[in-house]
């Protein structure tokens, strides 16, 4: 648990976040994956615990002069049917082909602040890159900035919490997908239980694995508690997935409010029925609301399309 070294600095918080006490239970202490044989590669406040590279993406190709695919993207977020505020946040940064979903936690507006800090940090990392870069031996070079975004998000949350003691328990999940059309690759980083799915040739697959206490043999109500979160430790540990997108693929980034209220079969039904990503995201949110989603719900849909004729 972080304790702020100085009184809360209200001037640095949004107006709705000022002078709000903590009332929700603290985030549980995070488990450390000591059983993993491979030590994570660390650098600058971030560690990559696991890297999964699909067979067809095993070799990082040189950058081409024309895109190998185009993206069509849409996203929606909603508080759901039970919560008065929305602690989810999303980023659609088309200029960098970067798409992010964050699901915050921490009491009152603590979750809202954490998720928005993470989103802002990810955007700044890509739009205002620094000259220095992390040294991560097990991470493809084009994915390093994605990991740097996770480190920046972690630092932004921790530094804000240190200045405002009532925010000491805030944190957020984070799932981010960076598409590189000229190289024909996508890099997906994640911490927590927000997910990235891929629909390919009639099969819906979760590309990410939830970081929860269930991984450590915990059962019952505690099993769904997070084992990792951005902002909870000095070093944020992310996992990374590298894939080669194909024409017709549909990627879905979502907070757990969606997959806990809408079955995978229904998610696939919507993604197959609705070609427009914005409408698909809206339909997924509507399904969650119809099922009385208790949590906030966010869906970002990315459809892989053929490149322009001149690029083929």
pLDDT at 274: 97
**DSSP state at residue 152:** H
**With 0-12 CB in 10 A as exposed, 13-18 as middle and 19+ as buried, what is 160?**
buried
pLDDT at 34: 33
Strand-pairing partners, residue 101, are 90, 175
Residue 74's closest CA among 263, 310, 300, 272? 300
**Interatomic CA distance for residues 145 and 133, integer angstroms:** 8
CB atoms within 10 A of CB 246: 14
Token duo for residue 103 = 């699901």
Neighbouring residues of 101: CB distance < 8 A, sequence distance ≥ 6: 88, 89, 90, 174, 175, 176, 194, 253, 254, 255, 298, 300
Q: Please give the chain's pLDDT, 312 residues, in tens.
A: 333 333 334 444 443 333 333 333 333 333 333 334 444 554 458 889 999 999 888 887 888 889 999 999 999 999 999 988 999 999 999 999 999 999 999 766 799 999 999 999 999 999 997 766 777 878 898 999 999 999 999 999 999 999 998 999 999 999 999 999 999 999 999 999 999 999 999 999 999 999 999 988 999 989 989 999 999 999 999 999 999 999 999 999 999 999 999 999 999 999 999 999 999 999 999 999 999 999 999 999 999 999 977 555
**Strand bridging mode 46-53 / 250-254:** unpaired
**Cα separations in angstroms, 292 against 78, 199, 254:** 12, 25, 17
pLDDT at 136: 81
Domains in the chain with CATH codes: 39-311 (3.60.40.10)
CB 161 within 8 A of CB 170: yes
């Amino acid at each position: 648990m972080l304790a702020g070294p100085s009184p809360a600095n209200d001037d640095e918080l949004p107006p709705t976040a000022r002078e709000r006490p903590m009332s929700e239970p603290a985030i549980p202490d995070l488990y450390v994956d000591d059983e993993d044989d491979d030590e994570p590669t660390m650098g600058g406040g971030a560690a990559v615990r696991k890297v999964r590279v699909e067979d067809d993406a095993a070799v990082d190709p040189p950058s081409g002069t024309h895109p190998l695919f185009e993206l069509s993207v849409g996203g929606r977020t909603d508080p759901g049917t039970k919560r008065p505020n929305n602690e989810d946040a999303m980023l659609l940064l088309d200029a960098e082909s970067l798409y992010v979903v964050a699901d915050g936690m921490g009491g009152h507006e603590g979750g809202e602040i954490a998720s928005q800090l993470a989103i802002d940090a990810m955007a700044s990392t890509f739009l205002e890159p620094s000259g220095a870069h992390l040294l991560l031996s097990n991470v493809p070079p084009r994915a390093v900035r994605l990991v740097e975004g996770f480190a920046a998000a972690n630092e932004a949350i921790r530094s804000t919490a240190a200045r405002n003691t009532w925010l000491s328990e805030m944190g957020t999940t984070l799932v981010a997908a960076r598409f590189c059309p000229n190289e024909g690759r996508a890099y997906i980083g994640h911490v927590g239980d927000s997910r990235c799915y891929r629909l390919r040739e009639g099969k819906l697959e979760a590309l990410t694995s939830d970081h929860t206490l269930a991984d450590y043999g915990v059962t019952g109500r505690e099993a769904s508690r997070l084992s990792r979160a951005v902002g909870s430790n000095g070093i944020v540990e992310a996992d990374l997935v590298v894939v080669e997108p194909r024409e017709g693929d549909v990627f879905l980034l979502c907070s757990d409010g969606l997959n806990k209220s809408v079955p995978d079969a229904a998610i696939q039904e919507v993604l197959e029925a609705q070609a427009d990503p914005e409408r698909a995201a809206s339909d997924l949110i509507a399904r969650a609301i119809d099922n009385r989603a208790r949590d906030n719900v966010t869906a970002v849909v990315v459809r892989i399309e053929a490149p322009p004729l001149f690029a083929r």
